[in-house]
Structure 1
Amino acid sequence: MFSKRTLLAWSIAELLGVLYCFFVSIELMGISLQLFGSGFAEQLIRTTANPLMGLLIGLLTTSIIQSSSVTTSMVVALVAGGVVPIANAIPIVLGANIGTTITNTLVSLAFITRKEEFRRAFSCSIVDDFFNIMAVIIFIPLEMATGYLQWISSLMCRLFSGVGLIKIASPLKLITRPAVDLLLGATQQNGILSLIVALVILFISLKLLVSLLKKLVVRRAESFIHEYLFKNILRAMLLGFVLTAVIQSSSVTLSLIVPLAGAGILTLEHMFPYALGANIGTPLTAIMASLVTGSPAAITIAFVHLNFNISGALLFLPFKPLRKIPIYCSNWIADVASNARKYAIIYLFIIFYVIPGFIVLLWRWLIV
């Protein structure tokens, strides 16, 4: 018989191995979508015509390439090159905030065969959707009326312009890149094949991950998670911010917590401030990219993304009635989707692809 210490070490090794596969699948999924979507995404951004179109283009672009950091960095580069003016770029960045949550929504679908786990995972994966939609409804008209985001960001630009910065690679990307490159080579960099491989790895790793979490975390570490990492709103928010700042991907940070929600270890009340912290950490990649360009306009638009997310957190977190709205909406949609799983798929496609895609294509057809 093995000792308890040996069994624990083996369980931790299993958990780390499964987590690695989980991270590889998310990274591969993002790259796969970029293989057949990045050119189309950049073309969309270049044709931004008005705030509503900019918002929808930001949402659609990020849904296609599965990374708000990539979308925002693309916008930063186009602003720096004078292709897109700041006023047009702001709604794109805000739309990207909504689109980035598609990855963790996709992750939650891995629980679709288990009703209660799916309800918990799906509700946690979409709470950031409702927060971002509400924040956009509040702050885009405010920005159009006052220009406060651009004004604050311009002040910050003056403080940071001239500061050279070396781009820091994401440690997670460095670790997962060899496996991702191997899989891309095996699929001959075919976007569809790579995506299928990514989804297979994602679903298998998630099934194993939830099983291991129930066995290991519930027994040994649940009290640590509740007492230290998620003890209060500020700690949960700080954890989301730090993880996203280090990993440089809010998609991964948010997806990481979905299995914990599915396993019943964390609730929506834990997830919401954590997601807001992840949102605040997201713009750091674009800020670093903008500081490298040295363009005041590019630096300004990168700080707009940061200030929008900070504004949303400052508005929602201190006020419990406001904080409850995204949580209530998420619970309601998750209850409906858990009783009829097809509605989860319908929700995903309508919110992230059908509505923005239809309006953008209709607008482009009308102005041609």
Structure 2
Amino acid sequence: MGANIGTSTTSTIVAMGQITKKEEFRRAFAGATVNDVFNWMTVVVFLPLEAATGYLYYLTKAILASVEFPKSREKRKSLQLLNTLTKPLSNLFVQLDKGVLSDIAEGKEGASQKSIIKQCCKWKYWTNNSSFPRMYSNTTYFDNTSSLHMDDGSTKICITKCNYMFASVSWSDTTVGIVLLIITLILLSACFFTLVRTLYSVMRGQILAIVRKFINSDFPGIFRYLTGYIAILIGTGITMTIQSSSVFTSALTPLVGIGILSMERMYPLTLGANLGTTFVAIIIALSQNADDMPIAFHVALCHVFFNISGVLLYYPIPMTRLPIRMAKFLGNKTARYRWYSVAYLLVLFVILPAVVFGLSSISRIALVVVSVPLIIILLCIAVINILQTKRPDVLPVKLKTWKFLPSWCRSLEPYDKVIKQICCKCCKQK
């Protein structure tokens, strides 16, 4: 569930590349956040439901009971198409020690203290220590760098050091990770900026009108209702092919920004991307050895049915497609207050997860005591807002508007003024 939320941040960051043009930014941010909103709303509903009933666990367990797994202990190679293209380039920047990662995942003692950055790319084993080459006879023995004594009495020695950008630096894993994240975001922004510029130069005049009409048009007659479901299947198929929902949804975001793709078409494509990325987990689960395959397959199926549950809840009935309306609301807000996009990312993807993690680390009771009243207040505000718009006659006079509250409680204008003053002072402008 957390992975679903986290993977949606990429397209939101990409949307900020169009922040200089108000209308484009409004559409792009709405198109990007429709994935965020869908994932958040799905988690809000199904996380408590899973905690209370365990329906995902028991449903997938029942399915697994009817599946016969292979007896062979041989590990199969999973089909990872995108990895084949990207691995040669990514290996120039950093390489990870999968053995250490496996040890950490299995909870082996001391594994978390080791570096996951790979130092040695080729080892050689000697079963008889007396047969060591003379050049290795006085080697200092330490793990993952020079040589290592094995449990069976043999010794392995590193004969080829890895050669990549971060191989010779003495930084910690965290520092390397932060630097790689920054490099990735810069490259990602540059790629999508180039994509937008290219689309601008190609999609002009009549060509733009034709492409927009073709992409956003519905099937004729009685098949009109199936258009969205076909879009879901297209999104699923493309994501299964490229094996990355972030890449697919991030590529669609600029198209929404420049007006080629409508929000109503973006939404089912996004849902398809969410479904497609779950089948990637199934492919990887099927590549495990016989001992690991059942639990890996169990986790993958939970991911599949979680996303299917979200699609069934928020798509088939038009009035339940709340993520579209909420994303448009966010797009309008960010078009008026540009800083709102940064605040949105920080609050939803940094501050809120950190607070929830901190409270849950203290105790589950602390999390419930803080979150339940907050959720009730937010629900009351949402209900009053709806009644103010559709049935103001049923509300007391005081609640027909929010004017009885101070301005900082009902409007972003006070915050906007402060932020503008700070920005102007930083830029030394009036």
Normalising by structure 2, report the TM-score: 0.58
Corresponding position of 1:149:
56
The separation in 2 between residues aligned to 1:336 and 1:151, in whole angstroms, is 41
CA contact (8 A) 2:76 2:289 kept: no
CA contact (8 A) 1:161 1:299 kept: no
CA contact (8 A) 1:111 1:118 kept: yes
CA contact (8 A) 1:170 1:246 kept: no
The separation in 2 between residues aligned to 1:366 and 1:317, in whole angstroms, is 36
Corresponding position of 1:191:
177
The separation in 2 between residues aligned to 1:351 and 1:161, in whole angstroms, is 42
CA contact (8 A) 1:187 1:193 kept: no
Identify the match of residue 121 of structure 1 among 10, 16, 28.
28
The separation in 2 between residues aligned to 1:307 and 1:279, in whole angstroms, is 11
Q: CA 1:360/1:248 → structure 2, altered by over 3 Å: closer, same or farther? A: same
The separation in 1 between residues aligned to 2:361 and 2:299, in whole angstroms, is 25
Q: Which amino acid aligns with 2:320?
A: L
Secondary structure at 1:283's aligned position in 2? helix
Corresponding position of 1:262:
257
Secondary structure at 1:355's aligned position in 2? helix
Corresponding position of 2:102:
none
Percent identity between matched residues is: 37
Unaligned residue ranges in structure 2 (runs of 5+) = 95-163, 170-175, 365-430
Unaligned residue ranges in structure 1 (runs of 5+) = 1-93
Secondary structure at 1:232's aligned position in 2? helix
Secondary structure at 1:264's aligned position in 2? coil
1:171 offset after TM fit, Å?
A: 2.3
The separation in 2 between residues aligned to 1:284 and 1:156, in whole angstroms, is 16
1:355 offset after TM fit, Å?
A: 1.0
Q: Which amino acid aligns with 1:118?
A: F
The separation in 1 between residues aligned to 2:186 and 2:266, in whole angstroms, is 26
Cα displacement string for residues 148-197 of structure 1 (whole angstroms, at most 9, x for unaligned residues): 32222113223444058844343233223333334554466833443333
Corresponding position of 2:312:
314
The separation in 2 between residues aligned to 1:160 and 1:249, in whole angstroms, is 27
Q: Which amino acid aligns with 2:302?
A: V
Matches within 5 A, 1:295-314: 295=292, 296-314=294-312
User: Which stretch shows the higher mean deviation, 272-281 or 219-228?
Assistant: 219-228
Q: Which amino acid aligns with 1:152?
A: L
1:250 offset after TM fit, Å?
A: 1.1
The separation in 2 between residues aligned to 1:170 and 1:223, in whole angstroms, is 35
Corresponding position of 1:16:
none
Secondary structure at 2:195's aligned position in 1? helix
1:123 offset after TM fit, Å?
A: 0.7
Identify the match of residue 273 of structure 2 among 274, 278, 284.
278
Cα displacement string for residues 74-97 of structure 1 (whole angstroms, at most 9, x for unaligned residues): xxxxxxxxxxxxxxxxxxxx2222
The separation in 2 between residues aligned to 1:183 and 1:216, in whole angstroms, is 34
Corresponding position of 1:252:
247
Corresponding position of 1:177:
87
Q: Give the root-mean-square deviation of aligned CA atoms.
A: 2.8
The separation in 2 between residues aligned to 1:195 and 1:139, in whole angstroms, is 30
CA contact (8 A) 1:130 1:330 kept: yes
Corresponding position of 2:186:
200
With a CA cutoff of 8 Å and minimum separation of 6, indicate the structure with the bigger relative contact order: 1
